[in-house]
Structure 1
Amino acid sequence: MLFRSRLGLALLCSSLAVNLLAAQPLVFCADADPDGFDSALSDTAATHRAAAYPLYNRLVGYAPASGALVPELAEKWNMSADGRSWTFKLRRGVKFHTTAGFKPSRDFNADDVLWSVRRQVVTSHPGAATAPGGFPAALSGDWGALIRASEKIDAYTVRFVLAKPYAPFPALMASWPMSIVSAEYGNRLALAGQLARLSSEPVGTGPYQLLKYEKGAVIRYVAHPAYFRGRPAMDKLIFSINPDASVRMQKLRAGECHLSESLRPQDVAALSDTPKVRVVHYQPQITSFLAFNSQKKPFNDVRVRQALSLAIDRAAIVQAVYEGRAATGMLPYAPDTLWGAPSQPPIAPRLEQARKLLAEAGYPHGFETSIWARVGGGASNVNPRLTAELVQADWAKLGVKTRLVAMEAAELGRRGRLGEHAIVISGWMNSLDPDELYGNLLTCDAAQTSTARWCDKQFDSLIDAARATPQQAKRAKLYEAAAQHFLTAVPWAVLAYPKAALAHDARLKGVMPSPAAPFSFERLRWP
């Protein structure tokens, strides 16, 4: 009897421990505040992590391990024979969030898809007033010109008619700005003149619902009980916002947060020796670069851009900033990937050639400029300030005097889109189809919103040809040619392709980094 009593007590204690762990909120250490919670309004990683990941779904998703395109809110899709239209069959039974300010009267359907897309591409649409200046990704990708018509075939079928063949269209529908919002909610807010609530009080179909946001401190979410893939295992999700990487590391070691990315190399080493923390290494699709504002003097002269790029010691940056956990690079899209161009070995600094180019451009003694860098670090650059300081020292050898300007990530992104900068340290990640990178950052369509503000007709012709080519091997050759043209024009000085690491509580399950995303909140669970 005594043995049975002790066994029963042990089983009860074990069960209580499991239940307590299951009820424990998941705390994610975030490196920056979001711009808001409407993915179509922002192009910052912090916003997509806080909005697109937990709150919304898109028609197309990415497989967790391979990064391949897979069905999400669309069950299947097909392209017309001429490549000018795409038809999507939608999933039935998908529920929107019910919040304090909105109770949906119906499930997700074709109306929501059309509302979410049309507000970004039709200026007369009631939802367009959300962004009087236009939606960033829609502007840079010129989606208004691409999507000639969007049609409701029936309640669960939509068709997009395009101005020209566009092979990457499913990848476009997987992009964060194409997150699906409730048309019923959007129309109600538009009639009330309250469209800003789409961002402050979001309603999506995603695994979590927003409860509360305290800027600079915390974001609180609760599990969506009617989520179409099943209620998430974690009832509560908390973002602890900490721009300081050392603070994030301390919280991980203390168990005050359970998951974090954007780790500094020194943190990776320290956390690897922490028994209760597990560090996961993976290779994402990330490019770290300096963007020159090519619409401002002297950066409108290709010789100046070439000279500054030639003077950078990329190997020193990889060692000092990334502690060797990155590959030096010069091409816009990382090589040795599914879509990557052949590797271009980075050259050592060529100061004499750089001086000659500056002299030819009319700057034999250099000039004065500034570099913008975000406060804290992110996935593409763990220490932007140190990067800027190293570049500053390299350019000083040419007589170029560079002032460093530090600002918060959201402010840097906003002012960068307005073109106020001369040079900005930036990066791009997780775009598995090259068209998302090229289309949003380097084409003429993107020239008025991208940090490079660069337009080159020859480059555009190569990208347009790739967009019209459904065969991947042929598309890859066109991207190779585009990358080589980029190498000569130098709208960016590409610095590195960082390797990535994330750290998580050793008890946490479901962390599966892929080239598309480091993790998915809906798959995370306690044992």
Structure 2
Amino acid sequence: MYDGPLHDPRFPGLRRRGFLAAAGGAAGLGALALAGCAGPSGDTAGGGGSPRRGGKLRAAFAGGGASESLDPHLAALFADAARAKALFDKLADFGADLSAEPRLAASWEPNAQLDRWTVKLRKASFHNGKPVTARDVLYSYRRIADPHKAFRAKASLEPLDLAASRAPDERTVQFALKRPTAEFPNILAAFGAYIVPDGAQDFDRAPVGSGPFRFVSFTPGRSALFRRNDTYWDGAPHLDQLEFLVVNEESARLNSLLGGQVEYAHELAPTTARAHEGKGQIEIVRLRNSAMQSFAMKTDRAPFDDKRVREAFFLLADRKELVDGALSGAGEIGNDLFGKGYAYYANGLPQREQDLDRARHLLKQAGAEGLRVTLDTSAVAAGFTEAAAIFRDQAAKAGVQVKVAMGSKDSYWQDTLDAGSLCCYRSGAMPIESHFSQRLLSASTTNATQWRHKDFDALYQQAQSTKSPQDRAAVYARMQRRLYAEGGFLVWGFADWILGTARNVRGVAHRAPANTLDWARFDKVWLA
């Protein structure tokens, strides 16, 4: 992994990893992080020692049944994404602070207007021995952007003008963009933006990628077996084989780990972690700040169209009580902003505390004394129902009556996107810029708080037209101060993501947030 100077000229906008000093750092996705770039500071769990080659690691994930696919552009579940990362590569991926780090890209460079970017590819080969070329890159991106398909990374690639993008030679891609995009590297690192061979369509019988492992076999809903790619550009994996097993129940994953049927168990509960942490039978790894936990207030309708009511709700919350109760203590408190520990996060704002007297005063000013509001929640995500009950009781202390309404697990996210006025919400890791563009602009398609302000949109466009990272950071800070004061996300916490490994597993990172390069990265793991 690249760990060069703060501003390497090959990678404009690249920020040094190591941004996280006191915090770690994923909607619907939480995740694991298995690392290859851990340093001597203790970035990996399971003990140290020199890497040992050989053996098979069996990893248990919850899966998607018979409809599962190895098509990396369809990856949506944890199991899908982990398998895709083993077989394929992206041009870039996210580091621990959610800034883009190079993978298949050797460099990226913009023009003066930031609407044309030139990407140079490193020397890398697919599993069939053919080199990864610019044609493969353009084919992959055009496939993802197909308007007739529903590929995961499609929205992330929207700024690209792929019809006008060109491949002047085998290792150069000239990307045309629809508008200035200073955060262009985030597009290359987008979730699901994997590079596949030109013309590839069939991924379930014998998929060919450029990743650290090669395909052996796949049974949807049951297992996938891969073997080491000895010619991998980033160094051959230590493991001989990697097997993904679908084990849907958390208790079954734990029992498989305890019984020696697997060496890695994804997505364990906080109660499981407390019961087994430090007991010596298995290793527990906590990935800090892996999921933002919040309540989303609709800012375009009563009562939350009054910013005084929104501020009052910020002050109703006892964040520590929410983390302790809803997350069983497996997390840390939030400060009403997304991206704690990520690049560009506004660290300097005061930590908001519960202040019931001030909340009552604001509600009285807004003519909202004795306010009654419905809080939509569901068992769709861990801690949602518990958080709703805790906040209901907290609000009652200031005379606010919160009615908790249980929604369907199957349709909750769609139901709450436009309907209602207050709901439980969570988010996976992504760059702060992506959080702005996907959720907080007037044209954002997943704007759960209905935050739509032309001046805020203009600040985002200003940032995207600003080449200097320092000047861009100043614009992002203005945007975050605005959201802190009057936004619609009451961010009360950041949850740990918990996984377990056998005691002989080494090289598992615990500092990288979910959805980053070191998430689900098995090529640097070994068996002691």
Regarding TM over 0.5, the answer is yes
Question: Retained in 2: the 8 A contact 1:52–1:176?
Answer: no
Residue 147 of structure 2 aligns to a residue whose secondary structure is helix
Higher relative contact order (CA 8 A, sep 6+): 2
What residue number does 1:484 align with?
481
Question: Retained in 1: the 8 A contact 2:210–2:232?
Answer: yes
Separation in 2, partners of 1:495, 1:452: 15
Is it true that 1:177 corresponds to 2:208 in the alignment? no
2:402 aligns with one of 381, 400, 403:
400
The one-letter code matched in structure 2 to 1:391 is: F
What residue number does 2:147 align with?
128
Question: Retained in 1: the 8 A contact 2:372–2:401?
Answer: yes
1:405-446 C-alpha deviation (Å, 9 max, x unpaired): 3526xx555x36964675443333433x42122222222332
The one-letter code matched in structure 1 to 2:176 is: V
Give 1:27 deviation, angstroms: 1.9
1:315 aligns with one of 315, 320, 323:
320
Separation in 1, partners of 2:157, 2:54: 46
Root-mean-square deviation (Å)? 3.8
Give 1:227 deviation, angstroms: 4.5
Q: 1:172 to 1:255 in 2, by over 3 A?
A: same
Give 1:158 deviation, angstroms: 0.5
Structure with bigger helix share is 1
Separation in 2, partners of 1:356, 1:306: 8
Give 1:251 deviation, angstroms: 3.4
Question: Retained in 1: the 8 A contact 2:377–2:384?
Answer: no
Separation in 2, partners of 1:24, 1:253: 17
What residue number does 1:522 align with?
523
Question: Retained in 1: the 8 A contact 2:342–2:432?
Answer: no
Is it true that 1:207 corresponds to 2:207 in the alignment? no
Give 1:276 deviation, angstroms: 3.4
Separation in 2, partners of 1:495, 1:84: 37
Question: Retained in 2: the 8 A contact 1:291–1:426?
Answer: yes
Q: Taking structure 1 as the reference length, what is the TM-score of the superposition?
A: 0.75
Bigger drift between 434-443 and 274-283 goes to: 274-283
What residue number does 1:277 align with?
282
What residue number does 1:46 align with?
78
2:296 aligns with one of 272, 291, 304:
291
Q: 1:30 to 1:114 in 2, by over 3 A?
A: same
Pairing of 1:42-441 with structure 2 (within 5 A): 46=78, 49-62=81-94, 69-96=100-127, 106-121=130-145, 127-131=146-150, 138-139=154-155, 143-144=158-159, 149-186=164-201, 204-208=209-213, 209=215, 211-212=217-218, 214-215=220-221, 218-223=222-227, 225=229, 227-229=232-234, 232=237, 233-244=239-250, 246-284=251-289, 286-294=291-299, 302=307, 304-335=309-340, 337-341=342-346, 342-350=348-356, 353=359, 357=363, 360=366, 364-375=370-381, 377=382, 383-395=383-395, 397-405=399-407, 407=409, 412-413=412-413, 415=414, 419=418, 423-431=422-430, 433-441=431-439
The one-letter code matched in structure 1 to 2:406 is: L
Q: 1:32 to 1:291 in 2, by over 3 A?
A: farther
Separation in 1, partners of 2:232, 2:464: 35
Is it true that 1:443 corresponds to 2:441 in the alignment? yes
Give 1:235 deviation, angstroms: 1.4
Question: Retained in 2: the 8 A contact 1:253–1:271?
Answer: no
- Kindly, what percent of the aligned residue pairs are identical? 21
Q: 1:201 to 1:242 in 2, by over 3 A?
A: same
Question: Retained in 2: the 8 A contact 1:240–1:257?
Answer: no
Is it true that 1:508 corresponds to 2:502 in the alignment? no
1:264-285 C-alpha deviation (Å, 9 max, x unpaired): 4333232223323223345456
Give 1:366 deviation, angstroms: 1.0
Length, aligned pairs only: 465
Q: 1:90 to 1:181 in 2, by over 3 A?
A: same
Residue 475 of structure 1 aligns to a residue whose secondary structure is helix
Bigger Rg, which one: 1
1:243-270 C-alpha deviation (Å, 9 max, x unpaired): 54x4444433333332245444333232
Give 1:482 deviation, angstroms: 0.9
Question: Retained in 1: the 8 A contact 2:441–2:447?
Answer: no
Bigger drift between 500-509 and 26-35 goes to: 26-35
Separation in 2, partners of 1:200, 1:385: 41
Q: 1:296 to 1:57 in 2, by over 3 A?
A: farther
Question: Retained in 1: the 8 A contact 2:227–2:240?
Answer: yes
1:177-221 C-alpha deviation (Å, 9 max, x unpaired): 3222333124xxxxxxxxxx6699965433344843544xx4423
Question: Retained in 1: the 8 A contact 2:295–2:425?
Answer: yes
The one-letter code matched in structure 2 to 1:221 is: L
The one-letter code matched in structure 2 to 1:372 is: S
Which blocks of at least 5 consecutive residues in structure 1 are unaligned? Answer: 1-20, 97-103, 122-126, 187-196, 378-382
1:345-387 C-alpha deviation (Å, 9 max, x unpaired): 1221537735853884778441445223415x3xxxxx33322
Bigger drift between 71-80 and 258-267 goes to: 258-267
Residue 478 of structure 2 aligns to a residue whose secondary structure is helix
Give 1:87 deviation, angstroms: 0.9
Question: Retained in 2: the 8 A contact 1:306–1:354?
Answer: no
Q: Taking structure 2 as the reference length, what is the TM-score of the superposition?
A: 0.75
What residue number does 1:124 align with?
none
Give 1:302 deviation, angstroms: 4.5
Question: Retained in 1: the 8 A contact 2:91–2:189?
Answer: yes
Give 1:54 deviation, angstroms: 2.6
What residue number does 2:492 align with?
495
Give 1:35 deviation, angstroms: 7.9
